[in-house]
Amino acid sequence: MTEAYVALEGGHVIEGRGRAPGTARGELVFTTAYTGYEESLTDPSYEEQVLTFSYPLIGNYGVREERFEDDRVHPRAVLAKELTEDVADWLAEEGVPAVDHLDTRDVVTDIRDEGAMKCGIAVGDDVTEADALEQLEQCKGMSEHTDIGSQVSVDEPVVRGEGNDGETVALVDCGAKGSIVDSLLARDAEVHVLPYDATPEDVASVDPDVLFISNGPGDPANYGAAIDLVQEFVGETPVAGICLGQQIVAEALGGTTEKMDFGHRGVNQPVLDLESGQVVMTTQNHGYTVDEPGDHLEVTQINVNDDTPEGLDGIDHDIITRQYHPEANPGPEDTLDFFDDVLAMADERAQRAVPADD
């Protein structure tokens, strides 16, 4: 059996079965999702993290590229109770260390008790605990990545759905899931995917009906260029955001964000709409949340479990954001109408801008 060791920040070292070789280090997080492992593993929001699956069997319906959210695996390493050969082989091909035969219940409990923590991973025929501990020490010495957007964003603008008859969307790619773009294209939008550090001139050249800030990994404070874009265009152009995008919009408009103990990660997070009283189930993957929305945003939806803001609307501007992933990959599909609301907001603003006939 290939040796595998996971060294946790508190000093505990766990031994498991190695399924894909290599060494890695990163922030240890978990997801409660029992389906959608392909979507989770290709979600750019997991960049620089070590992903633990709480569901015991991962891989029971194979690996299909059409389910991918990006063109590569983003977690630095993967932990599970049991991985199928399909998933283990895929991770090995991607160069992502993988460990199973772990008591993931204990790992998840540690994260819930202690919060997201740093860890080191070593997998191979002749690795030792010392190798995992060395990775952990290197991870402890790393500051939070301040330019993580460069690892997950497009390098140059990309146009999707060119010539579509719907609204023009400037999507700032801070690590966007592919299904966000697909959801906009399905509504006949023309989507201009811009780098995370796009300038106001880049956005102005698109002349968008909507400025859309995507999801992505890390601290929203590290996305200064996107914050500047919101400040530049708010009031002039409707603004929308998902996940990290909600946090960036709040930061741009005088709100504050904070890091959560272990975040929201899974496909069963209940969200209450404060106006309708309806509760919907949502997919989530984030480690930061909006603490105070500021004077220009109102909280319209909250997480049932901890009352954190899940939806923000503009008080005096056309703004709509969601903390969860309404594109419903890997599910559920309770909130797909968010994209209709975003595009309707843009259409309504355009209608208001048309001068009335004398």
Concerning whether 348 is annotated as a catalytic residue, the answer is: no
Q: Contact at 8 Å (CB) between 241 and 213?
A: yes
* Cα angle 317-286-72, degrees, rounded to a multiple of 5: 110
Give residue for tokens 């390098």: 155
Told to judge if 327 belongs to the known catalytic residues of this protein, a careful annotator would answer yes
Q: How many CB atoms lie under 10 A from the CB of residue 260?
A: 15
Annotated binding site: 45, 216, 218, 244, 247, 285, 287-288
Helix axes 337-353, 178-185, angle to 10 degrees: 50
* Catalytic residue, candidates 3, 9, 82, 327: 327
Eight-class DSSP state of 243: T
Q: Is 119 a catalytic residue?
A: no
The Cα 341–Cα 338 span in angstroms is 5
Residue type for position 91 = L
Provide the pairing of β-strand 210-213 with 239-242: parallel
Q: Which residues are annotated as a binding site for L-glutamine?
A: 45, 216, 218, 244, 247, 285, 287-288
Q: Which residue from 163, 196, 186 is spatially nearest to 45, judged by alpha carbons? A: 196
Neighbouring C-beta atoms of residue 235, cutoff 10 Å? 14
Distances (CA, A) of 202 to 11, 164, 182: 47, 20, 22
Catalytic residue among 119, 139, 174, 243: 243
Q: How much helix, strand and coil, in percent to the nearest 5, is found in the chain?
A: 30, 35, 40
Catalytic positions are: 243, 325, 327
